[in-house]
Amino acid sequence: MRLPGKVIIVTGSTTGIGKAIAQACVREGAHVVIHGLEQEWGSQVVAMLGPEHAALHIEDISAEGCAERLVDLALSRFGRLDAVVNNAAAVVSSNIESTDLAFFRRVLEINSLAPFSLIKAALPHLERSRGCVLNIGSVNAYSGEPNLFAYSVSKGALMTMTRNLGDTLHRENGVRVNQINPGWVLTETEEQRKKEHGLAADWYTKVPRVYAPAGRILWPKEIAAAAIYWLADESGPISGQVVDLEQHPFIGRNPPKDQSTIPDQ
């Protein structure tokens, strides 16, 4: 086992990438705090992992005090805290015309400021355990697609925070901070989002090769496999690093529209 006895908070883990990361953590010997907005989905995840291995907290990650409540739950249930995975995010379509300040602030609150808040709340306990933070970003952080404006900016902010805190917290507190930038991942919410855009139920089997040279997009379990390395002691002193997990060479930006019939990722 690669995470024996570790206690890890995984935000946004009632579904998708976060759920896959939580599952992988428990398989590797960790206890996890499951977090999300969906009580039913969260209860199902805890039941699958076993209540002896997982605790559940349902709340908007950007709510005042949520970060502290997540940390308190980890400590009260499992007695310590070794890692935080900032995975919860609002994946929302917008461009400059459709983005107003209220919408922009909301996206930044969830995708950039809430991770900062959780890191700050967890820091004294992570320092005690010589623990780590893993931020889940996006390849869109580099520039972003035209219809993912606010989301892309928020992930760019998260990436800068990872670089900054990966240096300062490692140097001053002994806490490593790293980030994974996934590309296009076949999560439950992504399946639903594409259906809402009018695509057929099997749209993911027809992704153009320009986006998916392998003939498919990524699976959550493949992101989770990479996450375990950064959460485990085997990653050693490495901090402040951002790793892109994608199969095509477009750095966070789509090619011209005439090369694809698939809408924004």
Burial environment of residue 42 by CB neighbours within 10 A (0 to 12, 13 to 18, 19 or more):
buried
Say how far apart CA 113 and CA 153 lie, in whole Å.
12
Predicted pLDDT at 257: 58
Domain boundaries, the chain: 7-183+218-247
Q: Report angle CA 39, 43, 48 to the nearest 5 degrees.
A: 150
204 catalytic per annotation: no
What architecture is the 7-183+218-247 domain classified under in CATH?
A: 3-Layer(aba) Sandwich (3.40)
Q: Report angle CA 256, 202, 94 to the nearest 5 degrees.
A: 45
Predicted pLDDT at 30: 99
Predicted pLDDT at 56: 99
- Decide: 141 and 152 in contact? Cβ < 8 Å: yes
Q: What is the pLDDT along the chain (265 residues), one digit of tens a residue?
A: 999 999 999 999 999 999 999 999 999 999 999 999 999 999 999 999 999 999 999 999 999 999 999 999 999 999 999 999 999 999 999 999 999 999 999 999 999 999 999 999 999 999 999 999 999 999 999 999 889 999 999 999 999 999 999 999 999 999 999 999 999 999 988 888 788 878 888 888 888 888 889 989 999 999 999 999 999 999 999 999 999 999 987 665 655 555 555 645 5
Q: Which entry of 142, 151, 204, 211 is annotated as an active-site residue? A: 151
Say how far apart CA 196 and CA 182 lie, in whole Å.
22
